[in-house]
Structure 1
């Protein structure tokens, strides 16, 4: 069995750079889809907040359940991907995400908030497996020197998904929901508004699972453990990814980055709805989220080119500083200045996730799958930080609560300047 696996691996890797390019092109569709699905939460939050009369803390349970899946599923997903391989791990993740989307149908039919949270958890579990498999796969499809640039390029298509999703959600959920809630019961509004978008997503995820099951993608043999599953694998004197300081600090970086990015995105509709900021209706404010995520898309394409010349750590530190400054401006101003300052943060968020990810995975060798699982575990920051900001918003006001993302960007500045080199 082991010898058969080895021969398959060598055959798959013989495709060279051409095969790698095909694999990278194929993977961009995954990055687009999970970006789209994740950002759709920013539309779901104000919608369910209005329908179920939730406060900010209760509404942030949406992000808590979605990103909480990363905490519970990431490490098992790392083991799963190590056993199944990257490609089968991707197919498995797509099928589970498809199931999560289908569960929105009964959740909408019963109009129960708890069922929505359960569907989100299943959906996020599938996305978690995709993240654990696809990110290190892209990282490995080429030279170590261009890993950050390569991951930024594929993550740009993730940002394309997050750019398109707010408009999609504004048209199919919020604008429809405004009329539905006025003319129908809450239960009817849910049934009419939420079912269709997630059924469409389920169909797309199912189709992608079928396609990826048939594709002939290269296998990265250098990241596989030896055939002796009982033996201890050592790389550079380390028996576990946890022994690499730059990985552990990178996990903290992923935690605070995802927390800050998701917090800002989650509160944007409500922030732009404040009278002293822009006073926009929910359906109109949702369309402006496109600028936030669109900035991330543009920034990743630019960053992918710039990081061919400038060290990744330097770029990361600069972007973290600029993001912190923009949030502070939004906190201490009003009107158009506050509005465009908070939206512009997306441009500087752009390179952070892929850059932290690739810097943290550097030189882990056979512990790469474990390292990827640890980093995806840290995405739970998207559950915890928005919930904390929701508590702060309820107690001290929405605008002042944005101090929390500023603190997060402070740590990312440290990681780019020093922590990634430790």
Structure 2
């Protein structure tokens, strides 16, 4: 089952020019930045759409569920496209797909239409999936296997830089330019105000589309090292003698990614509504959007720190410590009130920071020629973010604050994975990509 671009080659990898890969990784870091930026715009978009379309929490989180369903639907077609047209062309297609979806959001805002909004967000997410399927395993295997977690955390820090800047962008250009965004929680809008608020997203998405097109042009003109199509064919026969299901670190790593995404996306998407509540911070959605910057900023700082720490301490140990920290602050956010609860929820960004890149690299550790299939499964597991709708249902039924017990439960599984599930079984030699 070919589900991701190849991350394996023959001996040629040892002679690949480090400088060439350095430039490639620097360029890929810009892709990590952009898809992080665009994904987190949703955190300010969701409370905005909740106000515009008068949605309950279940309907609001369904928007994000559609976004992450795209990861499940588009992962296999993305891999097939990469096999057909190549790595670089696929990156360009992914960026242009995202740009088309961003422009489609301006249509959804003009109507305005909840259905068209869902469709266009799905298109954007499908483009991001294409980038994710290729870029994560590429970064993970370029260089020493021992430092793959450190390397991916470092590049993912650029993703976090995008997520840190996006809330201020969204708060300023979406929430700050709308009646619903500058009013207190529970304010009822007139039909005319809803229409005006809907159209406030046009300018931000036009700007995003323009940047994506420019980045696509840059990628198209860049001499990006190939992932080694010849070695993929050479390794096909060898892969037949191995099974993904014999590798415990992958078998438990796929649900770890899935469950982690439920935690991360639930916190981010409900943050603005949570902080805006009277018994928490009692502020407007626009003001809460600026506080969201601290959540994502903590994630960026955590990834830089994690990258450095993992050069000296085993990745599993660091992951276990961060999962315990995340569990503790989520309990505080659930049962405390006022600014204590708000800052507890903000601090979970620091503890979540290293989880995705670390689980990913631990999950593909020791897969050898099966690395590409394992990477594909891990990327598909990002669809776990779609289950944020479960937290929306819990919020409607039991209250927004108590719904974060679901997040705390997710942290427990991550701890289990770090302590036991991540230990590789039937590990084979890790290999590196060469330059075609």
Q: Is 1:350 matched up with 2:357?
A: no
What SS class does the counterpart of residue 178 from structure 2 fall into? helix
Aligned pairs for 1:74-153 within 5 A:
74-153=75-154
Task: Give the conservation status (yes or no) of the 8 Å contact 1:257–1:353.
Answer: yes
Q: Is 1:309 matched up with 2:312?
A: yes
Task: Give the conservation status (yes or no) of the 8 Å contact 1:20–1:142.
Answer: no
Following TM superposition, by how much is the alpha carbon of 1:178 offset from its aligned partner in structure 2, in angstroms? Answer: 1.9
Q: 1:320 to 1:82 in 2, by over 3 A?
A: farther
The equivalent residue for 2:411 is 409
CA distance in 1, matches of 2:63, 2:227: 36
CA distance in 2, matches of 1:182, 1:223: 62
What SS class does the counterpart of residue 366 from structure 2 fall into? coil
Bigger mean CA offset, 209-218 vs 121-130: 209-218
Following TM superposition, by how much is the alpha carbon of 1:418 offset from its aligned partner in structure 2, in angstroms? Answer: 1.1
CA distance in 2, matches of 1:233, 1:177: 58
CA distance in 1, matches of 2:144, 2:294: 33
Task: Give the conservation status (yes or no) of the 8 Å contact 1:330–1:339.
Answer: yes
The equivalent residue for 1:282 is 285
Q: 1:105 to 1:197 in 2, by over 3 A?
A: same
Following TM superposition, by how much is the alpha carbon of 1:285 offset from its aligned partner in structure 2, in angstroms? Answer: 0.6
CA distance in 2, matches of 1:369, 1:202: 31
Task: Give the conservation status (yes or no) of the 8 Å contact 2:242–2:370.
Answer: no
Q: Is 1:196 matched up with 2:203?
A: yes
The equivalent residue for 1:388 is 390
Task: Give the conservation status (yes or no) of the 8 Å contact 1:250–1:357.
Answer: yes
Q: 1:296 to 1:149 in 2, by over 3 A?
A: same
Task: Give the conservation status (yes or no) of the 8 Å contact 2:62–2:389.
Answer: yes
Q: 1:141 to 1:115 in 2, by over 3 A?
A: same
The superposition leaves residues 272-320 of structure 1 with CA deviations (integer Å, 9 ceiling, x where unpaired) of 1111111111000110000100000000001111100000011111101
What SS class does the counterpart of residue 312 from structure 2 fall into? coil
- Equivalenced residue count is 408
Task: Give the conservation status (yes or no) of the 8 Å contact 1:254–1:356.
Answer: yes
Following TM superposition, by how much is the alpha carbon of 1:78 offset from its aligned partner in structure 2, in angstroms? Answer: 2.6
Aligned pairs for 1:332-371 within 5 A:
332-371=335-374
Aligned residue among 211, 227, 237 for 1:220: 227
CA distance in 1, matches of 2:93, 2:191: 41
Following TM superposition, by how much is the alpha carbon of 1:213 offset from its aligned partner in structure 2, in angstroms? Answer: 1.4
CA distance in 1, matches of 2:105, 2:13: 38
Unmatched 5+ residue regions in structure 1? Answer: 1-8
The equivalent residue for 2:377 is 374
The equivalent residue for 2:53 is 52
Unmatched 5+ residue regions in structure 2? Answer: 1-9, 182-188, 425-436
